[in-house]
Amino acid sequence: MSQRFHRAYRHPASGQPAKLKGDMPGSPITRRRFLGSTGAALLLMISPTGQAAQTSMLAVRVWPARDYTRVTLESRSPVNFTHQTVRNPERLVVDLEGVELNDILQSLPSKISGQDPYIQLIRAGRNRPGVVRLVIELKAEVTPQVFTLAPVGEYGHRLVLDLYPVEPVDPLLALLEKISPEEAAAGGVSPPQRSDEAPRRAAAETPRKPEAPRQARLDERPTEPNPGRSSDDERVSRLITIAIDPGHGGEDPGAVGAAGSFEKHVTLSVGRRLKAKIDAQPNMRAMLTRDADYFVPLQQRVAKARRVQADLFVSIHADAFISPTARGSSVFVLSDKGASSTAARWLAQKENAADLIGGVNLGVKDGHLARTLLDLSQTASINDSLKVGKAVLGELGTINKLHKGQVEQASFAVLKAPDIPSILVETAFISNPEEEARLNDEAYQERMAEAIVRGLRRYFARNPPMAKSKLARLD
Q: What is the DSSP string of 57-116?
A: EEEEEEE--SS-EEEEEEESS--EEEEEEETTTTEEEEEEETB---HHHHTGGGG--TT-
Sheet of 330-334: strand order equals 284-288, 240-246, 312-319, 422-429, 330-334, 408-410
User: Does residue 161 sit in the same domain as residue 277?
Assistant: no
Residue 28 within any structural domain of the chain:
no
Q: Could you tell me if 146 and 161 are in contact, meaning their C-beta atoms sit under 8 angstroms apart?
A: yes
Q: What are 443-460's pLDDT values in tens digits? A: 999 999 999 999 999 999
User: Does residue 209 sit in the same domain as residue 161?
Assistant: no
User: Which among 165, 183, 206 is the end of a domain?
Assistant: 165
User: Does residue 108 sit in the same domain as residue 203?
Assistant: no
Q: How many residues does the structure list for the chain?
A: 475
Q: Tell me if the bond preceding 89 is cis, omega within 30° of 0.
A: yes
Lowest mean pLDDT among 77-86, 149-158, 353-362, 430-439: 353-362
User: Does residue 161 sit in the same domain as residue 226?
Assistant: no
Average pLDDT estimate for 368-378: 41
User: Does residue 147 sit in the same domain as residue 196?
Assistant: no
pLDDT on residue 409 = 79
Residue 30 within any structural domain of the chain:
no
Residue 331 within any structural domain of the chain:
yes
| 128: helix, strand or coil | strand
User: Does residue 348 sit in the same domain as residue 218?
Assistant: yes
From CA 318, how far away is CA 266, in angstroms rounded? 7
Lowest mean pLDDT among 30-34, 184-188, 244-248, 446-450: 184-188
Residue 148 has pLDDT above 90, yes or no: yes
pLDDT on residue 74 = 96
User: Does residue 227 sit in the same domain as residue 343?
Assistant: yes
User: Which among 165, 185, 211 is the end of a domain?
Assistant: 165
User: Does residue 364 sit in the same domain as residue 398?
Assistant: yes
Number of domains composing the chain: 2
Write phi, then psi, for 96 (nearest 5 degrees).
Answer: -105, 120
User: Does residue 177 sit in the same domain as residue 319?
Assistant: yes
Q: Give the chain's mean pLDDT.
A: 75
From CA 264, how far away is CA 255, in angstroms rounded? 8
> Between vectors from CA 118 to CA 314 and to CA 296, what angle results, nearest 5°?
20
Closest CA to 334 of 414, 239, 425, 259: 414
Residue 20 within any structural domain of the chain:
no
Find the DSSP H helices in 353-423: 354-358, 367-374, 379-396
Q: What is the CATH number of the domain that holds 292?
A: 3.40.630.40
Lowest mean pLDDT among 98-102, 304-308, 346-350: 346-350
Residue 31 within any structural domain of the chain:
no
Residue 70 within any structural domain of the chain:
yes
User: Which three-class secondary structure string do you get for 182-249?
Assistant: HHHHHCCCCCCCCCCHHHHHHHHHCCCCCCCHHHCCCCCCCCCCCCCCCHHHHCCCCCEEEEEEECCE
User: Does residue 147 sit in the same domain as residue 190?
Assistant: no
User: Which among 165, 193, 226 is the end of a domain?
Assistant: 165
- The confidence band for 170, taking pLDDT boundaries of 50, 70 and 90, is confident
User: Does residue 124 sit in the same domain as residue 179?
Assistant: no
> Between vectors from CA 307 to CA 303 and to CA 313, what angle results, nearest 5°?
65
User: Does residue 124 sit in the same domain as residue 242?
Assistant: no
Lowest mean pLDDT among 7-21, 106-120, 150-164, 400-414: 7-21
Residue 270 within any structural domain of the chain:
yes
Range of the domain at 141: 57-165
pLDDT > 70 in the chain, percent: 62
Q: Could you tell me if 261 and 430 are in contact, meaning their C-beta atoms sit under 8 angstroms apart?
A: yes
Q: What is the CATH number of the domain that holds 145?
A: 2.60.40.3500
Strands 80-86 and 312-319, bridge-based pairing: unpaired
- The distance between the two most distant Cα atoms of the chain, rounded to a whole number of Å, is 119
